Chains A and B, each alone.
Chain A
Amino acid sequence: MDPKPPPAPGTARDGTRRPARRRRPAARSRVVAGALSAVLFLGLGAGMAANQAGTATATTAGSSATGSQDDGGSSSSGWAATPGSSSDQSAMTGSQGS
Chain B
Amino acid sequence: MAAPSGTAELRFRAMGCDAHLLLVGGPPGLAGLARERVEELERRWSRFRPDSEISRLNQLAGVPVRVSPATLGLVRRALQGARVTGGRYDPTVLGDVLRAGYDRSFERLGGGGGSSALGHGWERVVVDPAASAVTVPAGVGLDPGGIGKGYAADLLVEELRAAGAAGVCVNLGGDLRADGQAPGGGSWVVAVGHPLRAAPAATVTIERGAVATTSRVRRAWGPAGDRRHHLIDPATGRPAATGLAAATVLAAQGWQAEVLAKAAFLGGPGQGRALLVAAGADGLLVDDRGCLHSTPGFGRFTGAGRPGREPLEVAG
* Real binding pair: yes
A54 in contact (CB, < 8 A):
yes
A82 to B179, CA, bound (A): 10
Question: B131 contacts A54, CB within 8 Å?
Answer: no
Name B314's closest neighbour in chain A (CB-CB): A94
Question: A41 contacts B70, CB within 8 Å?
Answer: no
Contact A96 to B218, CB < 8 A, known contacts A62-B155, A70-B77: yes
Count CB-based A-B contacts (< 8 Å): 271
Name B310's closest neighbour in chain A (CB-CB): A92
Question: A84 contacts B214, CB within 8 Å?
Answer: no
Q: Give min CB distance, A40 to chain B, whole Å.
A: 5
Question: A91 contacts B22, CB within 8 Å?
Answer: yes
B101 in contact (CB, < 8 A):
no
Question: A73 contacts B80, CB within 8 Å?
Answer: yes
Contacts of A65 in B (CB 8 A): 73, 154-155, 158
Question: B56 contacts A90, CB within 8 Å?
Answer: no
Which of B133, B185, B218, B282 is within 8 Å of A97, CB to CB? B218
Question: A62 contacts B159, CB within 8 Å?
Answer: yes
Question: A81 contacts B250, CB within 8 Å?
Answer: yes
Question: A94 contacts B36, CB within 8 Å?
Answer: no
Q: Give min CB distance, A74 to chain B, whole Å.
A: 5
A19 in contact (CB, < 8 A):
no
Contact A66 to B73, CB < 8 A, known contacts A52-B29, A97-B195: yes
Contacts of B306 in A (CB 8 A): 86
Question: B190 contacts A92, CB within 8 Å?
Answer: yes
Which of A39, A61, A76 is within 8 Å of B158, CB to CB? A61
A59 in contact (CB, < 8 A):
yes
Secondary structure at chain B's binding surface: helix, strand, loop or mixed? mixed
Q: Mark B175-216, 1 if CB is under 8 A from A, else 0.
A: 110000011111111111101000010000111111111110
Contacts of A48 in B (CB 8 A): 40, 68, 70
Contacts of A72 in B (CB 8 A): 76, 79-80, 83, 127
19 further contact pairs, Cβ within 8 A, besides A65-B155, A89-B182, A93-B22: A39-B131, A42-B56, A48-B40, A61-B158, A62-B70, A79-B281, A80-B209, A80-B250, A81-B250, A81-B257, A81-B281, A83-B205, A84-B206, A91-B189, A92-B1, A92-B191, A93-B190, A94-B190, A98-B149
Closest 3 pairs between A and B when the two form their complex, measured CB to CB: A88-B186, A96-B316, A84-B187
Query: Could you name 29 residue pairs across A and B whose Cβ atoms are closer than 8 Å?
Result: A39-B64, A40-B63, A42-B53, A53-B30, A54-B160, A55-B33, A58-B70, A77-B280, A81-B250, A81-B282, A82-B206, A82-B207, A83-B301, A84-B205, A84-B207, A88-B182, A88-B205, A89-B182, A89-B186, A90-B309, A91-B182, A93-B169, A93-B190, A94-B311, A94-B315, A95-B211, A96-B218, A97-B217, A98-B17
